Amino acid sequence: MNNIGIIAKYQHHDAKPIVEQLVTWLGRQKKAVFLDADTAGLIGMKAGYPKPKIPPLVDLMIVLGGDGTLLSVARLMENRDVPILGVNLGGLGFLTEVTLDELFLTLEKIFKSEYTPDARLMIKAQVFRQGERVVSSYCLNDTVISKGVLARMIRLEVSINDQFVTSMRGDGLILATPTGSTAYSLSAGGPIVNPMVEALIFTPICPHTLTNRPIVIPGTATVQVTVTSREDGAMVTFDGQVGFTLRPDDVIEVKAAEHKITLIRAPQKNYYGILREKLKWGEG
């Protein structure tokens, strides 16, 4: 790994000193460094790159921030097999496991190929309007179809692998990966699914019919959701960060992406330990 990408949450008060230190340290290791324009500007460098241009240039992507920053970077990776090291600038994250204290030791191990890759399923979401695709996005956590700003329910019709499942009314529907099972889906009553499981999670949001419950479906499934509400204003959002306004009869198709994304596990941490710490299991 000789070409290293760095994308930081540049607004964070700790970002500037750690980026400066990291760039200097990588230079001593004779690594080429590629920063996005905002991160480069943070330390007074002019040679920054647009974020989407960085993944094809690098062998490793370092993300400095929180889980939200990592989610935004994951969507840029598309089909590129570039591992991501998530470094948390605050508390422990579900995705950004590595702390600042562990950063340089972890990088030393990575450069010696002494690390554990963690392949995560991503989903590809597409919106079709009158048979034509109008938007698509990769997601690491989830695709969410939700009602508009008014306090009225959205009507949806759901099929899985062209088999009709249900017509539902409610605040919306979450289609999540196992990685996303600890995000919005969890707060809506969905199950926690270990990221090693090849599955998708179908979680209704405040359904009108209380027997509409979350379902775990095979990772090979294709889900099609048709907006049957006659009112405008419904939305689809990708990882909670990018939104698109829906119209009646739009069809949202969600399925596993062709390629997985690779995260690098933090040393001395494991999935269940992170769950225990984040969800405060066993306390009180």
Please state, in angstroms and rounded to a whole number, the distance separating the CA atoms of residues 160 and 116.
34
Catalytic residue among 36, 59, 67, 250: 67
Please state, in angstroms and rounded to a whole number, the distance separating the CA atoms of residues 42 and 10.
7
3-state secondary structure the chain: CCEEEEEECCCCCCHHHHHHHHHHHHHHCCCEEEEEHHHHHHCCCCCCECHHHCHHHCCEEEEEECHHHHHHHHHHHCCCCCCEEEEECCCCCCCCCECHHHHHHHHHHHHCCCCCEEEECCEEEEEEECCEEEEEEEECCEEEEECCCCCCCEEEEEEECCEEEEEEEECEEEEECCHHHHCHHHHCCCCCCCCCCCEEEEEEECCCCCCCCCEEEECCCEEEEEECCCCCCCEEEECCCEEEECCCCCEEEEEECCCCEEEECCCCCCHHHHHHHHCCCCCC
- Known active-site residue 67: yes
Q: What is the CA radius of gyration of the chain?
A: 20
Residue 115: which of 83, 153, 148 has the closest Cα? 83
CB 138 within 8 A of CB 124: yes
Query: Annotated active-site positions, please?
Result: 67
